[in-house]
């Protein structure tokens, strides 16, 4: 299925996706969009793991299971983060990171 595509193409694609996520993380000010940038970063790392597993170690399963666990961790992280975001919205009526500068009332 992956004949004719060198490993480097996958790695470059994942690099671009990772740094686009970092750019969003640095410039965004809304908490939910920051969370979306983190999802982009995690997703690019998953592509890296799977490409390495398929091209360099096709007789093992480490990359496959690592990306499976990354997906599970990302799901639980998103659930907890959104719970926190909704709690912040309830207290401050905004989720802009520059307006939320108080740890506890």
Partner 1 sequence: MTTNQLMFVLFAAMIVVFSILTVTSHKILRAAVYLLFVLVSTAGLYFMLNYQFLAAVQLTLYAGGIVVLIIFSILLTSHINQKFEPVGWKKSLFSALAVITGAFLSIITILDYKFSATTEAAKEVDMRLIGKSLLSVGNDGYVLPFEVISVLLLAAMVAAIVIAKKGAPKKSESQTLNQ
Which residues make up the interface to partner 1 (CB under 8 A)? Answer: 1-5, 7-13, 15-17, 19-24, 26-30, 32-33, 35-37, 39-40, 43, 46-47, 50-51, 54-61, 64-65, 67-69, 71-80, 82-87, 89, 95
Nearer to partner 1 by C-beta: 36 or 101?
Answer: 36
Q: Least CB distance from residue 14 to partner 1, whole Å?
A: 9
Among 31, 21, 38, 24, residue whose Cα is nearest residue 83: 31
Nearer to partner 1 by C-beta: 69 or 101?
Answer: 69
State the Cα–Cα distance between residues 52 and 10, nearest whole angstrom: 9
Q: Least CB distance from residue 105 to partner 1, whole Å?
A: 11
State the Cα–Cα distance between residues 66 and 61, nearest whole angstrom: 9
Q: Least CB distance from residue 97 to partner 1, whole Å?
A: 12
Nearer to partner 1 by C-beta: 8 or 103?
Answer: 8
Q: Least CB distance from residue 38 to partner 1, whole Å?
A: 11
Q: How would you write 11-71 as a 3-class SS string?
A: HHHHHHHHHHHHHHHHHCCEHHHHHHHHHHHHHHHHHHHHHHHHHCCCCCCHHHHHHHHHH
């Amino acid at each position: 299925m992956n004949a004719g595509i060198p490993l480097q193409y996958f790695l470059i694609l994942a690099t671009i996706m990772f740094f686009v996520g970092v750019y969003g993380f640095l410039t965004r000010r809304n908490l939910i969009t920051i969370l979306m940038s983190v999802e982009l970063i995690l997703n690019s790392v998953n592509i890296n793991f799977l490409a390495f597993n398929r091209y360099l170690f096709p007789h093992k399963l480490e990359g496959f299971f690592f990306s499976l666990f990354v997906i599970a961790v990302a799901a639980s992280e998103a659930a907890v983060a959104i719970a926190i975001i909704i709690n912040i919205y309830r207290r401050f009526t905004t989720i802009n990171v520059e307006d939320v500068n108080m740890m506890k009332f």
